[in-house]
Structure 1
Amino acid sequence: MIKTPHYNWYGRGFKLRAAITIACQLAFVLFGYDQGVFSGIVGNADWLDTFGHPGSALEGIIVSIYNLGCFTGCILAFIFCEKTGRRLAMWIAMVWIIVGAILQATAFSVPHIMIARFITGIGTGIETSTVPMYQSELCEAERRGRLVSSEPLFVGVGIEIAYWFDYGMSFTGGSIAWRLPIACQMIFAFVVIILVFGLPESPRYLYKHGRGEEALQILCDVYDGTPDSPKIAKENNDVLQALKIEQENGAYRWSQLFKRDEVQTGRRVLLAYGMQFMNQMGGINLVVYYITSVLQFNVGLTRNLSLLLGGIINLMFFIGSLFPTFFLDKYGRRKPMMWGSFGLGVSMMLIAILLSFQGTSVSKPTSSASVTFFFTYMLIFGATANCIPWVYVPEILPLHVRAKGTAVGISANWIWNFFVVMITPTLINNLAWKGYLIFMALNFAFVPLVVSSPALLPYRSSANQAIVFLLPRDIELDARRDRLAFL
């Protein structure tokens, strides 16, 4: 355990909870900015000259090595986060990102920028593994789902900022057009560091490390109460109960993750992995990372128009993400994911069909029409496949394997993210319209997989308090028929 100083800059109650939420959401804006900033850079003339006009394969590696760094950061967070605490882990993540941004902005060779992007990725991996945990441990249970599902919305904000910054800088000449957007990652990181300095540590972490008095005081500050108030007593009891359950089941080994037991642990871990696989293999990062190149080389638009449309297309991601933020609990997880996968498959199919007329007399109108379905793709993805896997994974996992199972799920996200980003330049340049058929087939294949997955239903105790995330194993067995409806 590493003890970090705590200074409460934000008072008590709503002000403190708002500061926690702002810091966490700003961290996800940074995540989105990191994801989107390279889309408008890889085709920049000065960037290409600086790095020797890399071929499709090398370009894919330069861009995707960031995601390999994210995978590494995710693993590091899982190993060390319980020792450092949430706040220190967030600081460490921001330091990695700042160092990586400095190295990227000063890069003059391919090895230099690859190492720099890997370092930035480590910071992002730690950040995305720690921030949702910190947010959920310092918010009211009834708001937890909405706050977690709103995080992808702020990823969309970051992507949009990056795209429009890239577009504005495209009108300038020289290396500043790509070095400045990369360097500006540091602004978000420094702001997060400052905000987090005045925030409390997670009470869950403090209780786990024997600092109960500090934890109780933080609960009183966050919920603006006293140790004797019913709300504080309930929150305090919930945390202690959850820790007791974890201690009772803490010896669950990695080798047991895929076992066939009475709660179908193995199947549920595979579902967690599969949901994150679907999140990446539907083709989202073809659009997020390479939409400018796609519009330029597959559709045949000018670079300036490609940059402009890229920003507008990614705005659909943000607009679509409003749906789960406000309506996910009403419509559930499975139906939106099922129809979302179908809609994504249709969009990819129509893009492929319309781009297949390249080289014919109708190539110009059909290529222009294909842009419409990039809009529909991003809108549908934002509303469904973007958020649902992140909410579904912790819900489907039994409590005794939740930490390890979540690590498996998130690792799937980053590994397949890396794979898609690496191969996309080759698909764009060598397969052209045929490459979209791969993502079409995958999205259509996801539909029956989603249909056959369990639909989670909220389980409530006799006191009408949701205890889905705090169930001991014996209660979980009794409640399984109420929480899981297998088709």
Structure 2
Amino acid sequence: MKQIGNVYLIAAISIVGGGLFGFDISSMSAIISGDSYLCYFQQGPLNADGSCSGPHADVQGGITASMAGGSWLAALISGLLSDRFGRKKAIMIGSVIWVIGCIIVSASQDIAMLIVGRVINGFCVGICSAQVPVYISEIAPPTKRGRLVGAQQWAITWGILIMFYISYGCSYIKGPAAFRIPWALQMIPAILLFFGMMFLPESPRWLAAHDRWEECERVLILVHGKGDPDSPWVAREFREIKEWCEIERQAKAVTYLSLLSPKMINRTHIGLFTQIWSQLTGMNVMMYYITYVFTMAGLTGNTLLVSSSIQYVINVVMTVPALLYVDRIGRRPTLLVGAALMAIWLFANAGILATYGTNPGPGGVDGIPEASVSVTGAPSKAVIACSYLFVASYAPTWGPVSWIYPPELYPNHVRGKAVALATSGNWAFNFALGYFVPPAFVNIRWETYIIFGVFCVAMFFHVFFIFPETAGKPLEEVMEMFEDPNGIPYLGTPAWKTKNYYSATARMEHGEGLEKKMSMEASPERHEVVGAKEQV
């Protein structure tokens, strides 16, 4: 079967796996406030006005969080799956699981069946969210790696936007079809992903790790050499992969406990916290439960749903700058700016709700207990504006970089399991927060924003002192930053001293490690540098 060699097309197909998570987010956020959903899954008495109140707050939290619970377990397993069968096949397995989950969810007869289906959907999301970044990072050239891996976040934002409008359109349908149709339509992208992956090559680094050197070289020629077997860039890349594989073969067999060894613990904790902090920003909470927030601001009916959809449009549009500039700007500045801005908007929302909000009583606004604060007039517009600005701050910063950064930190032989562990942290906290937020809005109200604002301040300082810059460096050279030149065990280069070597000039001055391997004055090597420069 003829394989695709264009890295942008490879990324475009594989990131559909990320888009599945986006479909899930907005299919819930748009549906949980609809009468069809609320009446079908009604628990307890009706509201005072005779309308359906739907599941209890803690049960709705459990329904929402069940997908993340399945994703946590699957993310851990995905490392074993990916190392055994390959990055490509792991993603294809995930797409099949998604179709099975969608069938169960769309046919749900009660809350228990809905939760089971969402857990199965979570298995797919856990596998794809962990292994799509690994796959793309291992196949992409260094100077394009950030934008290509970050495109997974863009796919998530498109999935959120598309499914929201599908769900919004279906909200005019009477009866259970209003939520069954959107949940069933989620199968389509997974089917396209499965068949699209058939035309993509396997990760060259995975092939090398399994001694499939001829296939590895063919993939490098196809993707990096654009079909030219004599490409200097391919020769250099192939040689570096081979050298690192030889070094890694001397290591012991990799288990998850290996990631806690003194040599790995620093980068393991950085990768894990990158994913944990991305959840503790509160972004996915804003996506799942934005209808509650805007109900507090006095929006109802179609106005509520349309205002929520504007947030999703902002999310799509504001992710684009990251794809264009994240390699040039670097990972550290992007994360630091994002954390600072998000803290500002979260504290602003907390202050507005605390100062101008009123308590609507135990029933909440419009009979929604989670909408436990009511604001009107200018303060309500300020809450909406801060919510939009929060999304606009997250979308070009922590959104894409949380997927880009972890796969860049690890050696080839542990990357699959290490990224799986980091991604499992994402889903563990996604689960916890999805379950926590509805009761939090009911019980601690506006203080919920204070909690996430404090998290954003904490992640700012954590990134500044601990997270090194990885932009513009081949994966094999990132490893050198974690090896201390003075022999102090595994402390590595201080994070604030690391630099971005995106530009060709900076990469040549830095040497990309070439000085350690060859003389820059020798003619053949000089040609390689020129070839690499042209590839950039």
Q: Name the TM-score class by shorter chain.
A: 0.7 to 0.9
> Per the alignment, in what secondary structure is the counterpart of residue 327 of structure 1?
helix
What is the Cα deviation at residue 474 of structure 1? 10
CA gap of 1:266–1:131, structure 2 versus 1, over 3 A, is closer
Match for residue 44 of structure 1?
A: 34
Q: Distance in 2 between matches of 1:380 and 1:395?
A: 23
- Cα distance change, pair 272–368 in 1 and its aligned pair in 2 (3 A): same
**One-letter code aligned to 1:232:** V
Task: Report what 2:376 is aligned to.
Answer: 364
Equivalence for 1:289? 288
Say whether the 8 Å CA contact 1:347–1:377 is kept in structure 2.
yes
Q: Sort the Cα spacing of 1:213 and 1:280 in 2 relative to 1 into closer, same or farther, 3 A.
A: same
Q: Distance in 2 between matches of 1:66 and 1:348?
A: 26
Shift of 1:407: 3.0
1:251 deviates by: 3.6
Query: Following TM superposition, by how much is the alpha carbon of 1:41 offset from its aligned partner in structure 2, in angstroms?
Result: 0.9
Matched letter for residue 12 of structure 2: I
Q: Paired residue for 1:443, among 456, 462, 467?
A: 456
| d(CA) in 2 for partners of 1:472, 1:379 | 33
Q: Give 1:25's aligned residue.
A: 15
Q: Do the aligned residues in 2 keep the contact of 1:286 with 1:424 (CA within 8 Å)?
A: yes
Q: From the superposition, tell whether residues 284 and 473 of structure 1 become closer, same or farther in structure 2 (CA, over 3 Å).
A: closer
Aligned residue in 1 for 2:308: 310
Structure 2 residue aligned with 1:349 = 347
Checking the alignment, whether the CA contact within 8 Å between 2:465 and 2:496 is kept in structure 1 is no
- Residue aligned with 2:29, SS: coil
- Separation in 2 of the partners of 1:203 and 1:454? 27
Unpaired segments of 5 or more residues in structure 1? 1-6, 460-465
| TM-score between the two structures when normalised by the length of structure 1 | 0.87
Between 1:169-178 and 1:362-371, the stretch displaced more is 362-371
State the distance in 1 between where 2:479 and 2:176 align.
57
Tell me which amino acid in the other structure corresponds to 2:26: G
Residues 66, 118 of structure 2: 8 Å contact kept: yes
Segment drifting more, 137-146 vs 345-354:
137-146
CA-to-partner distance for each residue in 1:73-100, whole Å, 9 max, x for gaps? Answer: 1112111212222222122101110000
For the 8 Å contact 1:66–1:120, the answer to whether it is kept is yes
Three-state SS of the structure 1 residue aligned to 2:376 is helix
Q: How has the CA–CA distance of structure 1 residues 195 and 225 changed in structure 2, closer, same or farther, with 3 Å as cutoff?
A: same
Is 1:374 aligned to residue 387 of structure 2?
A: yes
Q: Give the stretch that moved more between structures: 372-381 or 168-177.
A: 168-177
Aligned partner of 2:269 in structure 1 is 270
SS in 2 for 1:37: helix
| 2:476 counterpart residue number | 469
Distance in 1 between the 2:219 and 2:262 partners? 40
- Secondary structure of 2:466 counterpart: coil
Identify the match of residue 244 of structure 2 among 242, 245, 248.
242
In the alignment, the residues of structure 2 paired with residue 407 and residue 235 of structure 1 have an alpha-carbon distance, to the nearest angstrom, of: 25
Alpha carbons 1:134, 1:202 under 8 Å: kept? yes
Q: CA deviation at 1:328?
A: 1.8
The 1:474–1:247 alpha-carbon spacing in structure 2 relative to 1, beyond 3 Å, is farther
Separation (CA, whole Å) in 1 of partners of 2:482 and 2:335: 29
Measured against aligned partners, the alpha-carbon deviations of 1:110-160 in whole angstroms (never above 9, x if no partner) come to 110100000000011111122222223333333222211232122111111
Q: Check whether the contact 2:106–2:183 (CA below 8 A) recurs between aligned residues.
A: yes
Between 242-251 and 397-406, the greater mean CA deviation after superposition: 397-406
CA distance in structure 1 between the aligned counterparts of 2:190 and 2:417, rounded to whole angstroms: 28
| Equivalence for 1:485 | 496
Of residues 60-69 and 219-228 in structure 1, the stretch that sits farther from structure 2 once superposed is: 219-228
2:442 aligned to which of 429, 432, 435: 429
Contact 2:18 2:155 in 1 (8 A): yes
CA 1:135–1:165: 2 relative to 1, 3 Å: same
Superposition deviation, residue 37 in structure 1: 1.6
Q: What TM-score comes out, normalization by structure 2 length? A: 0.80
Could you tell me whether the CA contact under 8 Å between 2:30 and 2:305 is conserved in 1? Answer: yes
Aligned-pair CA distance for 1:403: 4.5
Indicate if the aligned counterparts of 1:150 and 1:324 stay in contact, CA closer than 8 A. no
Counterpart-to-counterpart distance in 1, 2:190 and 2:444: 38
Secondary structure of the residue aligned to 1:137 is helix
Query: Once the two structures are superposed, what CA deviation does each residue of 1:348-379 show, in whole Å capped at 9, x if it has no partner?
Result: 12212222323389931122321110000000
- The answer on 1:147 being equivalent to 2:148 is yes
- TM-superposed CA distance for 1:19, in Å, is 3.5
Change (3 A) 1:303 1:23: same
Larger Rg: 2
Distance 1:194 1:253 in 2: 32
Separation of aligned partners in 1, 2:481 and 2:157? 40
- Separation (CA, whole Å) in 2 of partners of 1:31 and 1:251: 32
**Do the aligned residues in 2 keep the contact of 1:454 with 1:486 (CA within 8 Å)?**
no
- Quote the residue 1:168 is aligned against: 169
- Give deviations 1:192-228, integer Å, cap 9, x for gaps: 1121122222233333334333333333333333544
User: In structure 2, what is the Cα distance between the partners aligned to 1:392 and 1:135?
Assistant: 12
Distance 1:138 1:354, change over 3 A: same
Structural RMSD (CA): 2.8
Change (3 A) 1:428 1:456: same
How many residue pairs align between the two structures? Answer: 467
Distance 1:267 1:186, change over 3 A: same
Question: Structure 1 residues 360 and 118, CA, compared in 2 at 3 Å: closer, same or farther?
Answer: closer
1:435-470 C-alpha deviation (Å, 9 max, x unpaired): 2222122222333223322442668xxxxxx44535
Cα 1:467–1:221 change in 2 (3 A) is: closer
Q: Shift of the alpha carbon at 1:275?
A: 2.1
Q: Output the CA distance in 1 between the equivalents of 2:270 and 2:226.
A: 39
